[in-house]
């Protein structure tokens, strides 16, 4: 295959991430208040790099910033020093990451099947896979998995020792969990099959890269484990089983689900990509490779890397189950690798089938029946329909978890307040106030992660005190909480003081502080009017839509 021909298909391949990326860019910049859901967890707190006065003494900000991997923090810090705010960088990064990923996957695919059209198909399917989820668009640490793992795969297949080791180090700096998968892949590659039985490989290159990779992994992961120690050890399996937060209705659902769901979905499951459906053609690749189809002969022995990735991922996945949460949730170790293996395998299978179908169509008509034409045509039309449907902008955007703010007056009001302003609220919109107003909140569903007891115990207490401040009829108790935390404002909605408001919030009802929540619901059912409800009109600072901002200072000084 000539170089110009390969370059042409590479250009076609890069159009794919540009297409999807520009769709997301247009969406995010066409609306004034738009943010990707996970960016509210991992990116907003990095605004401190642009303005160190933001989020002072903020437990939530400190926690998520501490957990962020070093490479991720460093990139956003450098951008902030160049004048690019983290939230702005998060909007433009996805298209850059997707372009890098696509270029590497195109080149890597050629090492498996040296057909540029097939490599293009791999890029197309992979892009549809990650643009139809909220991974790469989040610009969070997991977004960097795609370019870094694609680069690792390419350099591994090329046997570029130094470049491969660099990608291993970078993976550890941006997403340490997948570093373990990469080391496991290098370990699996030490084993080769000879005469139907496993043998240690005789190739020195594999041992060299394995040993050096282990050393780099140890150097990279050690600082990461030390850095997260500020909030202590992660929760143990026995603690998880005793906490409603990890039950079937909890905020971090893990236990209590049916066996199929436990194996295939959620934090415990394999989490294979559900879209695009074409990816499932990858399951036919083992059968196709044993067939006599012409293009099978051009598949290289490096195709084994797909099985090696699967074996390595499953191995670490099972290990993560055995040492639950010591290696974070098990799904981290198959979720991302399956999003590489399945599109690449599906692309190879489709390329072989396309070529065989084309050869069949070029045969004399006398050898073919009309029904065969119909069947082949229907299959081709269905495939094209799947590929085109999942390229529609509305389909992609609907699955990328964009959060659009609807309360511009409220955001502006809080943004005009001092930077140490603290807001107490249980309304859903409170989760977006740190993003759109750059001001701290005391508690919120999006930040109720029970993974580190040292964090969650403090967060739990802040949430309990928020409930008391909002629903207690004891003015002395309410004033005490306001003074303890320095609460400046409350945000309530029209239904905040109805029992159903609390009863419908699963993250509160199915939590370790459920008794407090049920107590507050009982107060409302008994028509014990909370202090905040009594003084809401007198102390209202601003109303927009169904939300009302209540001045905490007014509540604290009001003389009953």
Residue 152 CA to residue 168 CA, distance in Å, equals 7
Over residues 429-445, mean pLDDT = 97
Helix (H) or strand (E) holding 548: strand 547-551
pLDDT(248) > 70? yes
pLDDT at 376: 61
Section 392-414 average pLDDT: 92
Tokens in use for 527? 């028509």
Tokens of 494: 């029209």
pLDDT tier for residue 558 given thresholds of 50, 70 and 90: confident
Neighbours of 551 (CB within 10 A): 18
DSSP codes joined into one string, 388-449? HHTTSHHHHHHTS-EEE---HHHHHHHHTS-TT-EEEE-SGGGGGHHHHT--EES--GGG--
Question: What is the rounded average pLDDT of the residues 143-166?
Answer: 97
Residue 538 pLDDT > 90:
yes
pLDDT digits (tens, 9 = 90+) for 466-477: 999 999 999 999
Structure tokens at 183: 């080391």
Domain segments of the chain: what residues? Answer: 3-232+270-398, 405-557
Nearest to 157 by CA among 106, 93, 96: 106
Sign, CA torsion 300/306/311/316: positive
Give pLDDT, residue 1.
Answer: 47
**What pLDDT shows up at residue 292?**
87
pLDDT at residue 3, as a whole number: 73
Please, what is the average pLDDT of the chain?
91
Work out the burial of residue 63: count CB atoms within 10 Å of its CB; fewer than 13 is exposed, 13-18 middle, 19 or more buried.
buried
Q: State whether the Cα torsion 470-475-480-486 is positive or negative.
A: positive
Q: What is the mean pLDDT of residues 523-543?
A: 93
In tens, the pLDDT along 288-301 reads 999 888 899 999 99
Domain over 405-557 is classified CATH 3.40.50? yes
* CA–CA–CA angle 428, 429, 432 (5° rounding): 120
Higher pLDDT, 396 or 150: 150
Tell me: pLDDT of 377 over 80: no
pLDDT above 70 for 64: yes
The Cα 491–Cα 442 span in angstroms is 11
* Per-residue model confidence (pLDDT) at position 385: 65
pLDDT at 409 over 90: yes
Name the 3-class secondary structure at 264.
helix
Q: What pLDDT is stored for residue 382 in this prediction? A: 61
Residue 381 banded pLDDT, cuts 50, 70, 90: low
pLDDT higher than 90, residue 357: no
Q: Categorize the per-residue pLDDT at 372 as very low, low, confident or very high, splitting at 50, 70 and 90.
A: low
Whether omega before 103 lies within 30 degrees of 0, making that bond cis, reads no
Would you state the pLDDT for residue 371? 54
Q: What's the mean pLDDT in 34-51?
A: 95
Please determine, for residue 196, whether its predicted confidence score (pLDDT) is greater than 80. no
List, as one string, the DSSP characters of 111-174. HHS--HHHHHHHHHHHHHHHHTSSSGGGTSGGGGHHHHHHHHHHHHHHT-HHHHHHHHHHHHHH
- In a 13 Å sphere around the CA of 20, the CA atoms on its Cβ side amount to 35
- Predicted confidence at residue 383, as pLDDT, reads 65
Residues in the chain: 560
Q: Which is higher by pLDDT, 141 or 374?
A: 141
pLDDT at 235: 93
- Measuring CA to CA, which residue among 218, 228, 217 is closest to residue 167? 217
Please report the pLDDT score of residue 304 as a whole number. Answer: 95
Phi-psi region of 391 (alpha: psi -120 to 50; beta: other; left: phi over 0): alpha
CA dist 122 and 16 (Å) reads 11
Q: What is the pLDDT of residue 192?
A: 83
Query: Per-residue pLDDT for 229 more than 90?
Result: no
**Strand intervals (E) in 161-297:** 191-194, 197-200
Average pLDDT of span 316-339: 93
The alpha-carbon radius of gyration of the chain (Å, integer) is: 27
Mean pLDDT, to the nearest integer, of 145-153?
98
Q: Quick one: pLDDT at residue 373?
A: 57
pLDDT score at 366 = 46
Q: Which residues contact 126 (CB under 8 A, 6 or more apart)?
A: 101, 102, 105, 339, 340, 343, 344
Q: Which of 311, 374, 386, 307 is nearest to 350 (CA)?
A: 386
pLDDT in tens, 83-135: 999 999 999 999 999 999 999 999 999 999 999 999 999 999 999 999 999 99
Q: Are 165 and 212 contacting, i.e. CB atoms less than 8 angstroms apart?
A: yes
Orientation angle between helical segments 332-361 and 145-158, nearest 10 degrees: 60
Helical pair 453-471 and 475-485, crossing angle rounded to 10 deg: 140
Tell me which of 391 and 519 has the higher pLDDT.
519
Laid out side by side, the sheet with 422-425 consists of 440-441, 422-425, 489-493, 547-551, 540-544
């Amino acid at each position: 295959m000539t170089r110009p021909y390969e370059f042409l298909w590479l250009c076609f391949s890069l159009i794919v991430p540009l297409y999807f990326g520009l769709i997301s860019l247009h969406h995010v910049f066409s609306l004034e208040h738009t943010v990707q859901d996970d960016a509210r967890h991992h990116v907003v707190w990095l605004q401190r790099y642009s303005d160190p006065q933001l989020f002072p003494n903020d437990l939530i900000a400190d926690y998520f910033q501490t957990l962020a991997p070093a490479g991720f923090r460093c990139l956003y810090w450098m951008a902030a020093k160049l004048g690019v705010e983290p939230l702005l960088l998060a909007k433009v990064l996805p298209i850059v990451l997707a372009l890098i990923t696509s270029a590497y996957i195109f080149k890597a695919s050629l090492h498996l099947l040296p057909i540029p059209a097939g490599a293009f198909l791999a890029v197309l399917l992979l892009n549809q896979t990650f643009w139809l989820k909220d991974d790469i668009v989040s610009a969070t640490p997991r977004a960097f998995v795609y370019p870094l793992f694609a680069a690792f795969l390419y350099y591994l297949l090329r046997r570029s020792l130094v470049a491969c080791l660099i990608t291993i180090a970078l993976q550890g700096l941006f997403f340490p969990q997948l570093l373990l998968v990469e080391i496991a892949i290098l370990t699996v590659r030490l084993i080769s099959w000879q005469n139907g039985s496993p043998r240690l490989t005789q190739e020195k290159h594999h041992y060299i890269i394995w040993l050096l990779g282990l050393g780099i992994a140890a150097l990279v992961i050690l600082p990461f484990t030390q850095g997260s120690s500020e909030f202590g050890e992660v929760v143990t399996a026995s603690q998880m089983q005793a906490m409603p937060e990890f039950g079937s209705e909890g905020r971090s659902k893990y236990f209590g689900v049916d066996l199929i769901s436990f194996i295939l979905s959620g934090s415990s499951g394999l989490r294979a990509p559900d879209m695009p459906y074409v990816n499932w053609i990858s399951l036919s690749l083992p059968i196709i490779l044993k067939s006599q189809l012409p293009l099978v002969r051009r598949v290289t022995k490096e195709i084994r890397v797909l099985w090696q990735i699967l074996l390595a991922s499953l191995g670490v996945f099972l290990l993560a189950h055995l040492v639950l949460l010591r290696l974070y949730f098990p799904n981290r170790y198959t979720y991302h690798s399956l999003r590489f293996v399945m599109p690449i395998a599906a692309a190879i299978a489709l390329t072989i089938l396309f070529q065989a179908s084309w050869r069949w169509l070029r045969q004399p008509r006398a050898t073919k029946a009309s029904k065969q034409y119909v069947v082949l045509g229907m299959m081709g039309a269905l495939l094209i329909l799947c590929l085109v449907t999942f390229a529609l902008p509305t389909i992609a955007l609907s699955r990328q978890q964009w959060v659009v703010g609807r309360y511009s007056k409220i955001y502006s009001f809080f943004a005009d307040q001092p930077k140490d302003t603290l807001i107490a609220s249980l309304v859903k919109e409170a989760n977006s106030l740190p993003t759109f107003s750059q001001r701290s909140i005391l508690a919120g569903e999006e930040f109720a992660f029970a993974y580190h007891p040292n964090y969650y115990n403090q967060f739990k207490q802040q949430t309990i005190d928020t409930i008391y401040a909002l629903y207690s009829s004891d003015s002395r108790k309410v004033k005490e909480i306001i003074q303890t935390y320095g609460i400046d404002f409350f945000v309530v909605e029209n239904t905040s003081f109805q029992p159903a408001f609390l009863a419908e919030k699963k993250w509160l009802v199915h939590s370790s502080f459920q008794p407090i929540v049920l107590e507050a619901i009982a107060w409302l059912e008994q028509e014990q009017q909370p202090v905040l409800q009594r003084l809401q009109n007198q102390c209202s600072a601003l109303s927009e839509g169904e939300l009302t901002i209540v001045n905490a200072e007014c509540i604290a000084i009001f003389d009953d």
